[in-house]
């Protein structure tokens, strides 16, 4: 018995149908404004947005930076290391964002052997100074 030519759907037809449904969903999402929301969320993940940094997360990062900075040999290497140069936008109790760094302010992490090695470099903000953005809601 020859089954060739009977009315079943071929694999090519199924694949084309799945692709067509995905394209249709993307078009509907685009025209209903959903793509802007999706792209905005993706952009905020990678750019950091203007939102405040979590204090505990900042302290954890600073602790990791400290451990790596302790392996450096010269004061110049330490001063240019991320432990000394990283700045965080931390939300204050008033809802405004303030600049903080690892070695002073609310994110201060004491780093053994590096006391006094970090200093404010050109272009850095004063720890505790206000960030020039609107308060978070």
Looking at the chain, the whole-number percentage of residues with pLDDT higher than 90 is 9
Query: Distance between CA atoms of 90 and 101, rounded to whole angstroms?
Result: 10
Say whether pLDDT at 97 is over 70.
yes
Mean pLDDT to the nearest integer, 106-114: 80
How confident is the model at residue 73, as a pLDDT?
83
Query: Distance between CA atoms of 31 and 29, rounded to whole angstroms?
Result: 6
Write out the E strands in 19-107: 87-91, 97-101
User: What are phi and psi for residue 132, nearest 5 degrees?
Assistant: -85, 65
pTM: 0.53
Mean pLDDT to the nearest integer, 16-33: 88
């Amino acid at each position: 018995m020859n089954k060739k030519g009977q009315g079943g759907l071929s694999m090519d037809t199924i694949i084309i149908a799945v692709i067509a449904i995905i394209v249709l969903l993307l078009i509907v999402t685009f025209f209903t404004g959903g793509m802007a929301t999706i792209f905005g969320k993706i952009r905020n993940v990678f750019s950091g947005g203007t939102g405040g940094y979590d204090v505990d997360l900042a302290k954890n990062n600073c602790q990791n930076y400290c451990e790596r900075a302790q392996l450096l040999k010269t004061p110049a290497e330490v001063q240019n290391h991320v432990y000394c140069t990283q700045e965080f936008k931390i939300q204050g109790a008033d809802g405004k964002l303030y600049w903080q760094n690892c070695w002073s302010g609310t994110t201060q992490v004491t780093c053994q052997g590096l006391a006094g090695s970090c200093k404010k470099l050109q272009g850095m903000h004063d720890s505790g100074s206000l960030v020039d953005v609107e308060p978070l809601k």
